[in-house]
Amino acid sequence: MIEKIDHIGIAVNSIEERLRFFKDMLSLELAGTEEINDQKVKVAFVKVGDVNIELLEPTDPASPIAKFIAKKGEGIHHIALKTNNISETLKHLNENNITLIDTTPRQGAHGKKIAFIHPKSTGGVLIELCQE
């Protein structure tokens, strides 16, 4: 079901500013950037071994990431877990009364299928499920 931690999402005001730290100070490799229009966010992935750090910059003041930053400030937004079958994982969680934000997968960065589990069911942590 769950294979590994895929990435850790960090909400930021400016990807460019934060890349100075991750690339220049920590010498981490930029794996790529992408804009996800329907989520109103620009993302950059930085490689840390076989796990990525995903920097999320809002592209619209009404985006979920902009609202997160306005409420909590920059910081860890979510932890993403890689699954080999996102539909079966969601079905299993739903059958066990886990509160889901997404009951069906949607399109995420790099063409991955993604879905989120509500923090009410995870001890306050937003969990993203993803499948390549």
Domain boundaries, the chain: 2-131
Query: Which residues are paired to 70 by β-bridges?
Result: none
State the DSSP code for 56. Answer: E
52-101 per-position pLDDT tens digit: 999 999 999 999 999 999 999 999 999 999 999 999 999 999 999 999 99
Three-state DSSP state, 49 = coil
6-49 per-position pLDDT tens digit: 999 999 999 999 999 999 999 999 999 999 999 999 999 999 99
Q: What is the pTM of this model?
A: 0.94
Q: Which CATH number fits domain 2-131: 3.40.640.10, 1.10.287.130, 3.40.50.300, 3.10.180.10?
A: 3.10.180.10
In whole angstroms, what is the distance from residue 98 CA to residue 77 CA?
A: 20
